[in-house]
Amino acid sequence: ETGVTQTPRHLVMGMTNKKSLKCEQHLGHNAMYWYKQSAKKPLELMFVYNFKEQTENNSVPSRFSPECPNSSHLFLHLHTLQPEDSALYLCASSLSPDRGDYGYTFGSGTRLTVV
């Protein structure tokens, strides 16, 4: 266990379903992130939250809706997804979003399949 917990580990959903991914950390970190990892593509940063406030949205389609109720929890709400959204979704946290010497701690990811 790294300290960042993601649930569920696997998710299969239809294109008309609504589901949510959950991420939780108790490392005392103040920044949380969602990444998308598709096959044969580099990791793509989706969203950044700093002290519960969204500070970055990298042109992510509105069918992905993040929520950060506190510094320890991060959700990714999914609705009307497309098959090309099938990927590994990784959550990460870091002590500070602005310190270059701090790396990120990642969860184990949610492997999402859209059918």
Partner 1 sequence: AQKITQTQPGMFVQEKEAVTLDCTYDTSDPSYGLFWYKQPSSGEMIFLIYQGSYDQQNATEGRYSLNFQKARKSANLVISASQLGDSAMYFCAMRAPSRLSFGAGTTVTVRA
Binding site for partner 1 (CB under 8 A): 2, 33, 41-43, 45, 48, 56, 88, 90, 92, 94, 97-109, 111
- Rounded to a whole number of angstroms, the minimum distance from the CB of residue 104 to partner 1 is 5
- Rounded to a whole number of angstroms, the minimum distance from the CB of residue 25 to partner 1 is 14
Nearest Cα to 35, choosing from 90, 111, 105?
90
- Rounded to a whole number of angstroms, the minimum distance from the CB of residue 101 to partner 1 is 5
How many Å apart are CA 80 and CA 17, to the nearest integer?
A: 6
7 vs 15, beta carbon nearer partner 1: 7
CA distances from 99 to 31, 60, 103, 112 (A): 11, 25, 9, 31
